[in-house]
Chain A
Amino acid sequence: QSALTQPASVSGSPGQSITISCTGTSSDVGGYNYVSWYQQHPGKAPKLMIYEVSNRPSGVSNRFSGSKSGNTASLTISGLQAEDEADYYCSSYTSSSTLEVFGTGTKVTVL
């Protein structure tokens, strides 16, 4: 089971919107709505930002939203802020024996 594919980096200016893609297969992203997104600041543990494709946990800003089309899930950050600069990882349940697979990770830079 290979890692889900994410762009290595995405950047934007404060106030702009950016979108991070997460591409898998019909055995993971495309086959289930169990896609989640995590934010990781340097030296910190990942933090859950989105679960079940588009649901936000309590306390997560509504500037973060998720969606899915076919085998690709997406995380959109609107009204980009300096504090959003971090690494972002997607994750999906997979029907392969691996069961859980993470994305390759995307570094978000706020210009």
Chain B
Amino acid sequence: QVQLQESGPGLVKPSETLSLTCTVSGGSVSSGSYYWSWIRQPPGKGLEWIGYIYYSGSTNYNPSLKSRVTISVDTSKNQFSLKLSSVTAADTAVYYCAREARYLRYFDYWGQGTLVTVSS
């Protein structure tokens, strides 16, 4: 059974960089069949796709966040990570990591989510 677990600070100051890591167990980030994605959900609002990374290191980001987002992968640790720079209160959200089927484009496994609050 594939499991994903997000980790990282729950509180980030405005203008700083949000950093989260997703640890994958029961599966490998090196699998060629999947993208590894980050998705967020502001409190009381809907889901927003942030971006994904392939095991090779190739990435795609939501254009609305592209200038501030970096997603990286560490195959040796079976982890992938998210960095979002210059955060504001609008970036306060529950952040999910998820596995996306590469060819059929659905998210089949999700982490439990972690709330990140941007506040001084």
Q: Contact residues of A with B, CB < 8 Å?
A: 1, 3, 32, 34, 36, 38, 44-48, 51-52, 57, 89, 91, 93, 97-105
Residue of A nearest to B46 (CB): A105
Nearest-neighbour CB distance to chain B for A52, whole angstroms, equals 5
Q: Are A52 and B106 in contact (CB under 8 A)?
A: yes
User: Of residues 67 to 101 in B, which have CB atoms within 8 Å of A's CB atoms?
Assistant: 96, 100-101
Pick the contact of B112 from A1, A3, A45, A91 — CB < 8 Å?
Answer: A45
Q: Contact residues of B with A, CB < 8 Å?
A: 37, 46-49, 52, 60, 62-64, 96, 100-101, 104-108, 110-113
Q: Are A46 and B104 in contact (CB under 8 A)?
A: no
> Hey, which chain A residues are within 8 Å of B111, CB to CB?
45
Nearest-neighbour CB distance to chain B for A41, whole angstroms, equals 12
Beyond the given pairs A36-B105, A45-B96, A102-B49, 16 more chain A to chain B contacts, judged by CB atoms under 8 angstroms and listed by A's residue number, are A3-B46, A38-B47, A44-B112, A45-B110, A45-B111, A46-B47, A52-B106, A57-B108, A91-B47, A91-B106, A98-B49, A100-B37, A100-B52, A100-B105, A104-B46, A105-B47
